[in-house]
């Protein structure tokens, strides 16, 4: 079965869109997905950016909010930008790595995104993360302790470093086994097509 890596950042609203739909699409395409949390902070810093491009370019930021509202409305959900944006997602990303080991990373990631972008909750706040963990039947104290071990911290750093070395510059980014990189939620279908066919031929009806 072909595989793709789904690189995502908890602060990224377009990663949220992908997190909500990737399993269904990948299942239909017959592609296995590896969920790979990373931190965009160091990746933006490598490009000379000290915050989200949506803050640096306010017109783009206002557009992003409007288009998220439109797309989320079509999925039957409100879109709420958390305050501040972007959220500090260090603990959430560390927890997601613990969740990968336990096999509950999909549920955790989705619940964290819904809290953040459908309810506007501050996932930078450990109490909010604890709430989400409780809702998933996990022991928040045990999970957060596992997330904060030096080994787990190093893992997240190594993940982010691996992404930087591939020249990942934003999220979500999908990477196929043959190393093709697809950036943005709107490239999810292309990435799945490439994973199966090794090209984009036929990925949409030609006009």
Residue ranges in contact with a copy of itself by CB under 8 A: 20-21, 24-25, 46-47, 57, 59-60, 62-63, 66-67, 70-71, 73-75, 167, 169-170, 180-184, 186-187, 190, 194, 199-204, 206-207
Check residue 43 and report its DSSP letter: H
**Shortest Cβ 104–a copy of itself spacing (Å):** 20
Give ∠ CA 58-62-66 in degrees, rounded to 5: 165
**Shortest Cβ 59–a copy of itself spacing (Å):** 4
**Cβ–Cβ contacts within 10 Å for residue 59, how many?**
8
Secondary structure string (H, E, C) spanning 124-172:
CCHHHHHHHHHHCCCCHHHHHHHHCCHHHHHHHHHHHHHHHHCCCCCCC
**Shortest Cβ 167–a copy of itself spacing (Å):** 5
C-beta of 54 vs 91, nearer to a copy of itself: 54
Nearest partner of 163 among 77, 80, 82, 45, judged by Cα: 45
**Residues 93/124, Cβ–Cβ less than 8 Å:** no
**Cβ–Cβ contacts within 10 Å for residue 139, how many?**
12
**Shortest Cβ 113–a copy of itself spacing (Å):** 15
Report the distance separating Cα 177 and Cα 30, nearest Å.
14
**Shortest Cβ 189–a copy of itself spacing (Å):** 9
C-beta of 1 vs 24, nearer to a copy of itself: 24
C-beta of 7 vs 182, nearer to a copy of itself: 182
């Amino acid at each position: 079965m072909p595989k793709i890596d789904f690189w995502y950042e908890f602060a990224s609203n377009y990663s949220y869109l992908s997190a909500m739909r990737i399993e269904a699409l990948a299942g239909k395409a017959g592609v296995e997905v590896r969920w790979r949390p990373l931190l965009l902070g160091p990746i933006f810093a490598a490009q000379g950016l000290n915050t989200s491009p949506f803050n640096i370019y306010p017109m783009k930021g206002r557009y992003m909010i409007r288009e998220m509202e439109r797309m989320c409305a079509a999925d039957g959900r409100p879109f709420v930008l958390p305050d501040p944006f972007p959220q500090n997602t260090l603990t959430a990303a560390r927890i997601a790595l613990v969740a990968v080991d336990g096999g509950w990373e999909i549920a955790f990631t989705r619940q964290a995104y819904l809290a953040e972008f459908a309810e506007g909750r501050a996932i930078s706040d450990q109490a909010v993360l604890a709430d989400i963990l409780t809702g998933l039947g996990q022991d928040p104290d045990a999970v957060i302790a596992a997330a904060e071990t030096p080994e787990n911290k190093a893992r997240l750093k190594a993940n982010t470093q691996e992404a930087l070395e591939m020249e990942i510059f934003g999220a979500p980014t999908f990477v196929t086994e043959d190393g093709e990189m697809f950036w943005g939620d709107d490239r999810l279908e292309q990435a799945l097509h490439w994973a199966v066919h090794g090209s984009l031929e036929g990925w949409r009806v030609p006009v």
